């Protein structure tokens, strides 16, 4: 098959996060697919067609991109952050697994990007400096009970926890419930980072504690990092605090 599909991570927002590899793959494409606001970040190029879709149509978008590539085109499918983190690369694999057998001989490339938790972590110091995990709070594709069990296991095992998809209009109570559960497992002084729209014009990053963390301070563009017993905050005169997770777990009883 002559067509190919590149699934490309654009990073969290600012053009400075788009890697040279992603830029080259975008420039080489005949057709661009993606959620409208992500496509808007890609410079317009003559001769390239653009196929914007709604955020909720991930499976259909992946299938359309695969079908277009199978017809012989060079197709780029864009994703915010990294395409493999709660995003389009898995949707492409799911569609490829379920689709026509000839899709399996397509040339498919995944181009990595800076995922939100790395961009947020870099803003505040090194909160992911020791063992951590990432969890999506969305219960669209899994039962809420499973989210709670994973939070319980992660906090109990001493992981720093990055929370993607913390809240949305359709999921208003889940983050409050997650904080309640975490407060029953971790000390009130546990550092919590709210990183909103990092790398974009409306970026806002705050550092608070689990006791004070307010679910209403998060929106769909927010990533949270909940610390572990090894996470500390260094207050600095005239500068924002530095949050870090110590690399040494000696004396920690997670």
Q: Which residue in 212, 220, 234, 254 binds ligand SAH (CB under 6 A)?
A: 220
CB closer to ligand SAH, 195 vs 227: 195
SS3 per-residue string spanning 105-171: HCEEEEECCCCHHHHHHHHHEECCCCCEEEEECCCCCCCHHHHHHHHHHHHHCCCEEEEECCCECCE
Using rule CB under 6 A, residue 17 touches ligand SAH: no
**Six token digits for residue 94:** 């799911």
174 binds ligand SAH (CB under 6 A): no
- SS3 of 172, please? coil
Minimum distance from CB of 219 to ligand SAH (Å)? 8
Which span (46-54, 76-84, 100-108, 144-152) binds ligand SAH, by CB under 6 A?
76-84
Closest C-alpha to 230, from 123, 156, 130: 130
Q: Which of 75, 130, 191, 221 binds ligand SAH (CB under 6 A)?
A: 221
125 lines the binding site for ligand SAH (CB under 6 A): no
Q: What DSSP character marks residue 59? A: H
Of 165, 174, 230, 231, which lies in the binding site for ligand SAH, with binding defined by CB under 6 A?
165
Q: Which of 17, 164, 179, 194 binds ligand SAH (CB under 6 A)?
A: 164
Rounded-to-integer distance, Cα 180 and Cα 172, Å: 14
Q: To the nearest whole angstrom, how small is the minimum distance from the Cβ of residue 246 to ligand SAH? A: 24
Is the alpha carbon torsion for 211, 214, 220, 222 positive or negative? Answer: negative
Taking Cα atoms as reference points, which of 136, 36, 50 lies closest to residue 80? 36
Residues that bind ligand SAH (CB under 6 A): 12-13, 79-82, 85-87, 115-116, 120, 164-166, 195-200, 220-223
């Amino acid at each position: 098959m002559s067509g190919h599909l590149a699934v490309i991570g654009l990073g969290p927002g600012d053009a400075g996060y788009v890697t040279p590899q992603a830029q080259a793959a975008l420039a080489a494409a005949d057709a661009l697919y993606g959620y409208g606001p992500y496509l808007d970040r890609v410079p317009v190029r003559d001769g390239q067609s653009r196929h914007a879709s709604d955020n909720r149509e991930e499976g259909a978008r992946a299938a359309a991109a695969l079908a277009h590539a199978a017809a012989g085109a060079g197709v780029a499918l864009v994703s915010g952050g990294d395409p493999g983190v709660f995003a389009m690369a898995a949707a492409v694999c799911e569609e490829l697994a379920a689709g026509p057998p000839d899709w399996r001989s397509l040339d498919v490339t995944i181009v990595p990007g800076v995922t939100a938790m790395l961009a947020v972590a870099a803003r505040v110091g090194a909160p992911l400096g020791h063992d951590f995990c990432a969890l999506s709070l969305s219960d669209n594709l899994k039962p809420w009970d499973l989210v709670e069990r994973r939070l319980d296991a992660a906090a109990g095992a001493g992981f720093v926890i990055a929370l993607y998809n913390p809240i949305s209009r359709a999921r208003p109570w889940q983050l409050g419930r997650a904080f309640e559960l975490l407060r029953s497992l971790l000390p009130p002084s546990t550092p919590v980072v709210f990183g909103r729209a990092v790398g974009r014009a409306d970026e806002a990053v705050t550092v608070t504690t689990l006791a004070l963390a307010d679910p209403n301070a998060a929106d769909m563009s927010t990533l949270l990092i909940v610390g572990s017993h090894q996470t500390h905050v260094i207050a600095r005169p005239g500068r924002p605090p530095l949050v870090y997770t110590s690399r040494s777990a000696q004396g920690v009883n997670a």
